[in-house]
Structures are given as structure tokens and as C-alpha cells.
A and B are shown apart, each in its own frame.
Chain A
Amino acid sequence: MSDFTWGLLAGLAAVLVVAGIVKWRRRDMPMTVSEKAEYLSRRRARMLPALAVIFLSQQASFFSQMSEGGHVSAEKAKISAWLVLSALLLLGLATKGFWFEKKEVRDLIDDENTRANRNEAMRWGFLFAMGTAIAVYILTMFDTVTGREAVHMVMSFGIAAAILRWGFLERRAHKDA
């Protein structure tokens, strides 16, 4: 099995472990649909900035390898794990999220304000991705940038900006007057 496949599997395993822990922690918490939606929505507001930090910290190892040229096996695995996290964050941004919850809970979490915040976050993500693409384009005039590195940078800054913005908006929305 290739290093990239190992990385993909490790990323997926980490996601399943986290999902399992979250489910297990909530096993004795009987809640109504609204209470559950409120609880999950608050938790998401707390989690988003943390996720953005984890996501950005993953970039450090990638960009440190860039200057050395080429990627060793462990780095290839990390890149695959990054790809899994990127795809998950994008899915979270593009869909209602909380895929293992009941439909009514998911519908309630994704109410009008959440959708507006999500759209605003997507707008930020798009603008940051385009800004990064311009920066990479200029960079290629002075230095060699591989296709993979360019895609990595555009995706990373776009997703991180969107997640951070969404986290900020969600936290502000939960703050009482």
C-alpha cells in the first residue's frame, strides 16, 4: 500500500474515532430536538476555530518540506491526512453537517441564521482562495511552484479563511446581548 493510501486511511480512522467519542459522550443526555440543536450548534461554534488551528498547523509541515524539495514517506501520509480533513471541512461548509444526527435536528441546526453565516463564510473562503491564487501566480514569476504545492496553498488558505469566518460569526450569534 502506498504512503498516500496510509495517510488517507489514517485520516479516515481519526474521523471515525472522533465521531465515536462524541457519540459515546452524549449517550446519557436525553434532549429534545431544540435542546440538541442548541447544544450541537454551540459546540460547533467552539470547535470551528480549533479546527482551523489544527488545519493550519498541518500546513506547517507541508511548507517546511517544500523548501527541502520532495516529500518523504511520512510527509506523503500527512498530505493524504490533510486531504481527508480538507474534504471533510468542505463538506461541513457545503452541507448541513452533523451527518450522524436525525434529520429534524440537522434541519433545525441549519436554520436561517446558520445558512446566512455559512454563505458569508463561503464568500470569504472564495475571496481568500482567489487572493492566494493571484499570490501563487506572482510567486511563479520568481520561483518554481509545483502544481500540487499551488493547489495545496489555494485550498488551505481558502478553507481556513472560511472556517475561521464561520466560527467567528457563529460565536457572535450565540453571544447574548
Chain B
Amino acid sequence: MPERLANKLKERRTELGLTQAELAERVGVTRKTVNTVENGVFTPSATLAIKLAGALDLSVEQLFWIER
């Protein structure tokens, strides 16, 4: 069974009332990158994962987990 990096980026972002563009601006990437991470198309680097978690007031483990 392949492993996949799941996340609750969209859920948390919506909870905080942020758009993809606003979150992207906070972490210094384009909206496209946030979109691909949310969709599970792109696996972010540790640096970006930490930045995203920080911007969404969560720990990296709360925001990302491995799905088997």
C-alpha cells in the first residue's frame, strides 16, 4: 500500500477565514503551491511545511500526517 502525505490545510485555512492567496503570501509562495499542497499533488519541503504550520497556528504533526 503506497504512503501518502495527507493534510488538513484546507480545513484549517477555511477555519481561520484565509484564502489560498492570503496563506501563500504569509509563507512566501504563490497560490499555486498552496493549491498543490492542499490537493496532495505536491509534497512540501520540511521548510515549507514548518512555515505553513506556523502560519496556521498548528504543529507540523497536526497539519500533516502519513496515510497508509
Residues of A within 8 A of B (CB): 34, 37-38, 41, 108-109, 111-114, 116, 170, 172-177
Contacts and interface: CB of A to CB of B under 8 A. Distances in A.
In the A-B complex, the 6 residue pairs with the closest CB atoms: A113-B33, A111-B29, A177-B39, A173-B32, A173-B36, A34-B25
Contacts of B29: 108, 111-113
Given A173-B33, A174-B35, 4 more contacts: A34-B21, A41-B30, A112-B33, A177-B35
B42 interface: yes
B6 interface: no
Nearest to A108: B30
Size range of the chain B interface in the assembly: 20 to 34
Nearest to A40: B30
B45 interface: yes
Contacts of A172: 41
A114 to B, nearest CB: 7
A112 B31 contact: no
B31 A38 contact: yes
A34 B30 contact: yes
Given A37-B30, A173-B35, A173-B36, A112 B25 contact: no
